[in-house]
Homo-oligomer: A and B are copies of this chain.
């Protein structure tokens, strides 16, 4: 076995990729010297280093990061996991990009996955990424019982929550100012004279949706306006659902004069419905979360913009601090939202009680 290890020229390889041993014998040095050159350790005689590098080029040697990680003392895979709602949606995609940039500057690779609001998928991915020994995780959690989940997994890799809090897990979190941002929007509508403001929100189980609803209620409360439950619709997750919800809202006797939509797709669905009802110049709309072309619609859509790139960057930076050994108490990073006036949020209350739509209903 060890007999042919020093044998110089002859390729004792059966097939497959060349290893450090092959390079060593080609360069007529020890395996360890090759390792030193590959890892850029300084204590190698220049002459030997040249011989090694020559052999590497000649054999097209490719270092195996996986194998090296196995023996390394730090056991770093230089890999982090990013678990988002859906890598295909604009918010997640922007956040992903920011994380990638931050990771790139550290030579770290990113494994991304979409959770689709599925708790089972979340636990499965947590298991998989633990088995892959990622150095850390950034996660927009789905499960309400993050705590159990995390314990159960025994993922000793650091974790940072983004967009949504990791309920009772002691870890950093990066969150948008959902409550105050939503309240600001609703206050703006009230200041423009609206008294009947509908709330259209995402799944109630999603923390951010609850927070935005809370901001809505706060602003109403401040103004001494009643919180009419008939003006509140939860659990809208797609544009189509939101469109239907708005259509039926305007079939009611006392329709709202303004809408606060708590999410991207809901805003778009609402705008679609108002167009169909020919009410888009009558009914005020403010959406939470900005979206491309919001400024080109007529009227342009007033929004509470989030900053997904900043959230991603902040989360990645926090994670890398933990990976680097920071053991301070968990921190919360609040990423401010930006209120952007564009027109739809500045429409005054429509005098007439809105179109009767289908009288039969």
Contacts and interface: CB of A to CB of B under 8 A. Distances in A.
Contacts of A50: none
Interface residues of A, number: 46
Interface string A275-297: 10000000000000001110011
B100 A89 contact: no
Contacts of A60: 154
A1 interface: no
Nearest to A121: B104
Interface stretch (A110-118, A175-183, A194-202, A345-353): A110-118
A271 interface: yes
A77 B66 CA distance: 9
Interface string A61-88: 0111111011000000100000000111
Contact of A63 (B69, B113, B131): B131
Interface in A127-157: 128, 130-133, 154, 156
Interface in A306-344: none
Given A133-B66, A298-B298, A93 B87 contact: yes
Contact of A112 (B63, B100, B271, B298): B100
B292 A65 contact: no
A69 B311 CA distance: 35
A109 interface: yes
A90 interface: yes
Q: Which of A77, A130, A291, A296 has the most CB of B within 10 A?
A: A296
B109 A128 contact: yes
A130 to B, nearest CB: 5
Given A292-B291, A293-B292, A97 B114 contact: yes
Contact of A87 (B87, B111, B113, B292): B87
A272 interface: yes
Contacts of A112: 87, 96, 100, 110, 112
Nearest to A88: B97
A69 B66 CA distance: 9
Interface of A: 17, 60, 62-67, 69-70, 77, 86-90, 92-94, 96-97, 100, 104, 109-114, 128, 130-133, 154, 156, 268, 271-272, 275, 291-293, 296-298
15 contacts: A65-B131, A66-B132, A87-B87, A87-B97, A87-B112, A88-B94, A90-B90, A90-B93, A96-B112, A100-B114, A104-B113, A110-B111, A268-B293, A293-B293, A293-B297
The 9 closest A-B pairs by CB, nearest first: A88-B97, A93-B93, A60-B154, A293-B293, A65-B131, A88-B93, A66-B66, A63-B131, A88-B94
Given A89-B93, A97-B114, A297-B297, 15 more contacts: A17-B156, A62-B154, A63-B131, A65-B132, A66-B70, A86-B97, A87-B96, A88-B97, A90-B93, A93-B96, A109-B128, A292-B292, A292-B293, A293-B293, A298-B298
